[in-house]
Amino acid sequence: MRPLTEAETRAVFEKLGKYLVAPGTCFGKFTKSQKFRLSVTALDFLAPYAKYKVWVKPGSEQSFLYGNHVLKSGLGRITENTAQYQGVVVYSMADVPLGFGVAAKSTQECRKVDPLAIVVFHQADVGEYVRNEETLT
């Protein structure tokens, strides 16, 4: 499979916008500096197609759902060949998507780091539905 050109990518997303994406589903927001920030409401659409995944141990699930980063001690599994700063979807060990973040360490670095080192930076989690329900749109 080859990468899509810019015109092909635009055509794909225009088609998705017309047919597949339910009206009213917010994928994220633009910041004042014009950077796009994904919202947890996009998780159901991203999780099934995620290339890189991280599974957290049951004892670390609640910590992640309260907005904390994933530590090496809480890491259950990680997709092979995950690069540093790669976007990842965070799952429970029961394969339930919990949120997403950015890999702070590559797969190879995760094997060698201290148990208290951060391996995934938190970006969004399903706990935001409860914590920020008035601001989620």
Tell me how far apart the alpha carbons of residues 137 and 134 are, in angstroms, rounded to a whole number: 8
Mean pLDDT of 66-91: 95
Is residue 11's pLDDT more than 60?
Answer: yes
Binned at pLDDT 50, 70 and 90, residue 96 comes out as: very high
pLDDT band at 17 (very low <50, low <70, confident <90, very high): low
In this prediction, residue 34 carries a pLDDT of 81
Instruction: Give 64's Cβ-side CA count (13 Å radius).
Output: 33
Percent of the chain with pLDDT over 90: 57
Could you tell me the pLDDT band of residue 18, with boundaries at 50, 70 and 90? low
HEC sequence for 6-29: HHHHHHHHHHHHHHCCCCCCCCEE
Per-residue confidence (pLDDT) for residue 56, from 0 to 100: 97
Arithmetic mean of pLDDT, 85-102: 95
Give the residue-averaged pLDDT of 52-67. 94
Determine the CATH number of domain 39-132: 2.30.130.10
Confidence of residue 119 (pLDDT cuts 50, 70, 90): very high
Mean pLDDT of 1-21: 75
